[in-house]
C-alpha cells in the first residue's frame, strides 16, 4: 500500500470553485493560485467527488507474489501523448499503425490489422491503458465512446480532466490531486513522492526533462507547491532545498530558444540569485551546460550532484524558429509555424544535448551515486505543446526524441544492469489536442495513413487536454504486477486499464512500506 493516506477531498459547504480561462490559447503555462480556487458553485463539484468515491476500485490480489523489488526505476512521462499521437508518428516513420479505431457512437472498434512494433517501448511485454482524471471525477468507459466530446476538458479550469500538475502528482505519489497544485493532495496537504521513498532506501534520485526543469511534470515529482506557475519558488525548492542527486532541464537565462546567446539574461524560469549561486560554485551542485560536458557524463567517474541546464530557454527543440510559441508569455504575441510543417523541416538546434544524451548521462551519474540503485523521472515535455498548438510536425518529433531516449535506457540496462533489477515505465500524463481522423464528431474516424515521410490525414478537435485513456508500456523487475491493478476494469475499445495513481502505488508496494 502507498504510504500516502488516501483521503477524500474536503468539499467546503459554501458555494464555489473558481473558473480560470485564458483568452489566448497558450500551452499549459499559466494558472491561478491553488488558494483562490474556492469562488463559484460547489454543488457540481460535490457530486463529482461523491461519484468518484463510489466507483469500485479493484484491489490487486497477491500482486507482489514472486515480484522482485526493482533496484532501479526509470519512469518516462510523454506529456500529452495519446494513442493517436504514437500512430501519427508511426505513419510518418514507417507508414504503419497499431492503435487505430473508428466507428459511430457506441460501436467504435479496431480498424485494420495492427502493425508490428515500431518504437522501442512497443516491444515491452506489459501494455495497458491508463485513466488520468483528477480528484474531481472519474473515467466512464461507456460515455467515452458514445459522446465524442465527453472527454474534452475545460481549459485552465479545475475539472475532471487533468492538467500536468495534478497528473504528475498522481504519478509520483499514487494520490489524486487538483490542478494547479504540484505535490499536494486534493486537500492541499503534501504528498509522499516516490523520490522520497527512494531516498529512504538509500537510492539516488533524478529528474530529466527537455522543457524547463521547474515545469509542472518535473515539479510534481519532487516538490510541493500550491501553484505550478510559482516558477521561482519551485526552482528554489528543487535546486536549493531538495536532496535530488541530479536535475536536468531547460531554463538557461543566457540563451534563447534557438540556443543562441541573449544580449541580456532572462530570469523567468530560474531566479537570478539562485543562478548566481549555482554558476558561482557556491552550492553542492556541479553545473553542466556545455554540450560536450553533457556527453562526458555518460561514461567514467561523475560529480556527486549534477545540475544540467543546456544552452536553451524553454525546450531543447520545440520552440526553435520558426517558433510555435515565440516565447509568447515573455516577449510579445505568439507566432506560429505552418500547422503542416513537416517533422525536422526546421533544422534542429545543434549545440544542445538530445533527450537521449541527457538520459545516458543521467543513468551514469545516478548509478555512480549509490550502490542501492536509483529512481529517475524522464519527461518528453513538448509533445503536449504540439497538442495545444495543433502542430503535428513538432509533436511527431517528440516521439522520435523519446524513442531514442528509451533505447538509450534499454542499451544501458543490457550493458550495465539487468531486467531482473531494473523497471522501465513509459506512459503519459494525459492526451492533448483530441487528435482523430478527418470528419470525426459525432463518429470516431481513424487517422489517414498516407505513407512514410508524409503527415497522416488528421484533425485536432481541441486545444487542451482530454480524459482519453493513455497507454502504458513496462518492462523489467515487477512490470507484470501492473496487470493486477487492471483486473475488473475493461474499456470497450482500449481493453484493461489501471488508474494513474496505481502506477506509483505498485512501485511503493514493491519497495515496501515507507
Q: Which grid cell is 456?
A: 497522416
Q: Which residues, including other chains, have CB under 8 Å from residue 228's CB and lie 6 or more apart?
A: 31, 163, 164, 165, 179, 180, 181, 182, 215, 216, 219, 220, 234
Instruction: Report the pLDDT value the prediction gives residue 47, as an integer from 0 to 100.
Output: 40
The structure's pTM equals: 0.88
- The rounded distance, in Å, linking the Cα atoms of 249 and 267 is 15
Whether the CB-CB separation of 331 and 264 falls below 8 Å is answered with no
Q: Which residues, including other chains, have CB under 8 Å from residue 112's CB and lie 6 or more apart?
A: 97, 100, 446
- Residues listed for the chain: 514
- Chain centre distance of CA 478: 21
- Residue burial 211-238, b: 16+ Cβ < 10 Å; e: rest: bbbbbbbbbbbbbbbbbbbbbbbbbbbb
- The rounded distance, in Å, linking the Cα atoms of 169 and 175 is 7
Instruction: Report the pLDDT value the prediction gives residue 89, as an integer from 0 to 100.
Output: 99
In the chain the domains, ranked by start, together with CATH numbers, are 34-511 (3.40.720.10)
Instruction: Report the pLDDT value the prediction gives residue 327, as an integer from 0 to 100.
Output: 37
Instruction: Report the pLDDT value the prediction gives residue 67, as an integer from 0 to 100.
Output: 78
Give mean pLDDT in consecutive 10-residue pieces for the chain, a chain of 514 residues. 43 25 28 35 38 44 66 99 99 99 99 97 99 96 98 78 98 98 98 99 99 99 98 99 99 98 98 99 98 99 99 97 49 54 94 98 99 99 96 97 99 98 99 98 99 98 97 99 98 99 99 80
277 CB neighbour count, 10 Å cutoff:
16
Amino acid at each position: 500500500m502507498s504510504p500516502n493516506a488516501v483521503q477524500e477531498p474536503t468539499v467546503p459547504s459554501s458555494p464555489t470553485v473558481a473558473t480560470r480561462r485564458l483568452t489566448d490559447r497558450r500551452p499549459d503555462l499559466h494558472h491561478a493560485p491553488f488558494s483562490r480556487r474556492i469562488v463559484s458553485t460547489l454543488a457540481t463539484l460535490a457530486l463529482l467527488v461523491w461519484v468518484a468515491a463510489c466507483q469500485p476500485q479493484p484491489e490487486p490480489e497477491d500482486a507482489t507474489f514472486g515480484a522482485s523489488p526493482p533496484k532501479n526505476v526509470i519512469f518516462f512521462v510523454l506529456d500529452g501523448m495519446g494513442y493517436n499521437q504514437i500512430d501519427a508518428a508511426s505513419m510518418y516513420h514507417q507508414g504503419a499503425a497499431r492503435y487505430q479505431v473508428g466507428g459511430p457512437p457506441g460501436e467504435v472498434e479496431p480498424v485494420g490489422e495492427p502493425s508490428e512494433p515500431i518504437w522501442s517501448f512497443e516491444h515491452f511485454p506489459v501494455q495497458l491503458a491508463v485513466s488520468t482524471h483528477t480528484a474531481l471525477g472519474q473515467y466512464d468507459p461507456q460515455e467515452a465512446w458514445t459522446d465524442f466530446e465527453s472527454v474534452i476538458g475545460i481549459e485552465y479550469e479545475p475539472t475532471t480532466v487533468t492538467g500536468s500538475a495534478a497528473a504528475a502528482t498522481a504519478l509520483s505519489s499514487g494520490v489524486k490531486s487538483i490542478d494547479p497544485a504540484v505535490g499536494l493532495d486534493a486537500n492541499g496537504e503534501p504528498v509522499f513522492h516516490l523520490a522520497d521513498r527512494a531516498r529512504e532506501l538509500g537510492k539516488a534520485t533524478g529528474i530529466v526533462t527537455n522543457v524547463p526543469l521547474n515545469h509542472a511534470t518535473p515539479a510534481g515529482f519532487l516538490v510541493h507547491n500550491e501553484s505550478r506557475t510559482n516558477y521561482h519558488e519551485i526552482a528554489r525548492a528543487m535546486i536549493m532545498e531538495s536532496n535530488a542527486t541530479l536535475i536536468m532541464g531547460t531554463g538557461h537565462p543566457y540563451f534563447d530558444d534557438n540556443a543562441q546567446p541573449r544580449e541580456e539574461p532572462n530570469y523567468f524560469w530560474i531566479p537570478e540569485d539562485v543562478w548566481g549561486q549555482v554558476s558561482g560554485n557556491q552550492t553542492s551542485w556541479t553545473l553542466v551546460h556545455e554540450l560536450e560536458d553533457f556527453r562526458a557524463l555518460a561514461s567514467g567517474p561523475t560529480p556527486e550532484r549534477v545540475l544540467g541546464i543546456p544552452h536553451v530557454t524553454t525546450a531543447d527543440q520545440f520552440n526553435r524558429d520558426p517558433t510555435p510559441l515565440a516565447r509568447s508569455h515573455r516577449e510579445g504575441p505568439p507566432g506560429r509555424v505552418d500547422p503542416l510543417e513537416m517533422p525536422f523541416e526546421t533544422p534542429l538546434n545543434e549545440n544542445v544535448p538530445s533527450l537521449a544524451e541527457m538520459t545516458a548521462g543521467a543513468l551514469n551519474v545516478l548509478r555512480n551515486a549509490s550502490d542501492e540503485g536509483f529512481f529517475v523521472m524522464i519527461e518528453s515535455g513538448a509533445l503536449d505543446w504540439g497538442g495545444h498548438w495543433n502542430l503535428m510536425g513538432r509533436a511527431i518529433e517528440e516521439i522520435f526524441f523519446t524513442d531514442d531516449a528509451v533505447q538509450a535506457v534499454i542499451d544501458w540496462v543490457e550493458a550495465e544492469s539487468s531486467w531482473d533489477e531494473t523497471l522501465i515505465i513509459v506512459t503519459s500524463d494525459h492526451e492533448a489536442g483530441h487528435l482523430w481522423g478527418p470528419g470525426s464528431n459525432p463518429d470516431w474516424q481513424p487517422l489517414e495513413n498516407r505513407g512514410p515521410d508524409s503527415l497522416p490525414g488528421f484533425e485536432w478537435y481541441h486545444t487542451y487536454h482530454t480524459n482519453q485513456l493513455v497507454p502504458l508500456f513496462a518492462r523489467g523487475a515487477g512490470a507484470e504486477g501492473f496487470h493486477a491493478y487492471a483486473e475488473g476494469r475493461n474499456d470497450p475499445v482500449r481493453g484493461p486499464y489501471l488508474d494513474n495513481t496505481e502506477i506509483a502505488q505498485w512501485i511503493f508496494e514493491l519497495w515496501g512500506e515507507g
